[in-house]
Amino acid sequence: MESGNVSRLLPPSGRAAVMGILNITPDSFSDGGRFFAAGKPSSDLILREAEAMAVAGADIFDIGGESTRPGAAPVSEAEELERVVPVVALLKTHFDIPVSVDTSSPAVMREAAAAGADMINDVRALTRPGALQTAAATGLSVCLMHTRGEPGAMQGLASYQDVVAEVRDYLRQRVTACREAGIATQAIAIDPGFGFAKNLEHNLALFRALDTFVAEGFPVLVGVSRKRMVGELLGRELGDRLAGSLALALLAVQQGARIIRVHDVAATVDVLKVLTAIEES
């Protein structure tokens, strides 16, 4: 199968891509249960949100069927398949927008690829048994994120001597593993994993050093939308973190991030339009 290429999923203009989050979960930290009706994912609700994102200018949809917030309970593979794969097929039928699947499960990777997915966005960086081989076999682009442990216990592992060096070295190791498994260099993106097994000090250090990750030569994905770090910085509750999220999105793009994963697509697109206009003037 032809190898993926992350650049084919990004805007041809060279600007950063806005990745809109669609969590098909009952318990995600910001939008858990939003797309459920009578206890099941609702195609109508999902399509309505996806349409709004598309109109607002989303470049990529990111579909997740397992909450990975701190303390989240694990989800069975069968449940994740049931949540994710029909949504991938639904979106590919209605939109000409790339679809990323936020999963660590080899079975979900395989079935999502068959349904038309374009990218695997794995918070566990393809470390589950069989994930590397499955991702390689799909030919899809992959995003490798840094974390430690499982969601239920990861914040207890937030201890580093040098968080920037340790996260960078981990991602380098995972890139090497991908290449050895047959995943092409151009098919790889990386994500420092803000908020995953990291406290506020770690997150800020990584943000200050974001250009270090850009210098690795892979498209960098940044996902900080509505996260705890924004709340801790501003003293804001979950529903009042838009301004902080937009500020971080802007700073990330200014440092070279190529994909910004967000809940608030329209506002993020507006901010990046302003940045582009100023840079091009």
- C-alpha 145/C-alpha 128 separation (Å) is 13
Q: What confidence score (pLDDT) does residue 87 get?
A: 95
- For 180, the 3-state DSSP assignment is helix
Q: Tell whether 1 is covered by a domain.
A: no
Q: What confidence score (pLDDT) does residue 118 get?
A: 98
Q: Summarize pLDDT for 25-77 with one digit per residue, the tens.
A: 775 555 556 776 556 778 889 999 999 999 999 999 999 988 776 666 678 89
Distances (CA, A) of 25 to 49, 86, 278: 15, 14, 38
Report the share of the chain in percent with pLDDT over 90.
Answer: 79
Domain that holds residue 116: 6-280
Give 16's pLDDT tier (boundaries 50, 70, 90).
very high
Can you give the CATH number for the domain in which 112 is found?
3.20.20.20
The alpha carbon dihedral of 54, 58, 62, 68 has a sign of negative
Determine the average pLDDT of the residues in 9-15: 92
Report the share of the chain in percent with pLDDT over 70.
Answer: 93
Q: What confidence score (pLDDT) does residue 27 get?
A: 53
Q: What confidence score (pLDDT) does residue 219 get?
A: 98
Residue among 233, 235, 218 nearest 146 (CA): 218
Q: What confidence score (pLDDT) does residue 217 get?
A: 98
Q: What confidence score (pLDDT) does residue 4 get?
A: 87
Q: How far is CA 109 from the centre of its chain?
A: 15
- C-alpha 218/C-alpha 208 separation (Å) is 18
Give 156's pLDDT tier (boundaries 50, 70, 90).
confident
Q: 3 CB contacts (<8 Å, ≥6 apart)?
A: 139, 183, 184, 186, 187
- C-alpha 48/C-alpha 29 separation (Å) is 21
Determine the average pLDDT of the residues in 125-142: 98
Q: Summarize pLDDT for 222-274 with one digit per residue, the tens.
A: 999 999 999 999 999 988 999 999 999 999 999 999 999 999 999 999 999 99
Give me the chain's average pLDDT, please. 92
Which range (65-79, 108-122, 155-169, 181-195) has the least confidence?
65-79
- Tokens representing 31 are 């939008």
Q: CA torsion angle for 213, 22, 54, 276 (degrees, to 10)?
A: -20
179 counts as catalytic: no
Query: Beta partners for 222?
Result: 260
Q: 235 CB contacts (<8 Å, ≥6 apart)?
A: none
Q: What confidence score (pLDDT) does residue 281 get?
A: 73
Residue 20 phi/psi, 5-degree rounding, is: -90, 130
- Tokens representing 54 are 């598309």
Q: What confidence score (pLDDT) does residue 157 get?
A: 83
Q: Select which of 69, 110, 227, 228 is catalytic.
A: 227
- Tokens representing 100 are 């990323």
Residue 172 has pLDDT above 80, yes or no: yes
Determine the average pLDDT of the residues in 205-218: 98
Determine the average pLDDT of the residues in 147-174: 91
Residue among 51, 47, 85 nearest 65 (CA): 85
Please count the other Cβ atoms lying within 10 Å of the Cβ belonging to residue 49: 18
Number of domains present in the structure of the chain? 1
227 counts as catalytic: yes
Residue 208 has pLDDT above 70, yes or no: yes
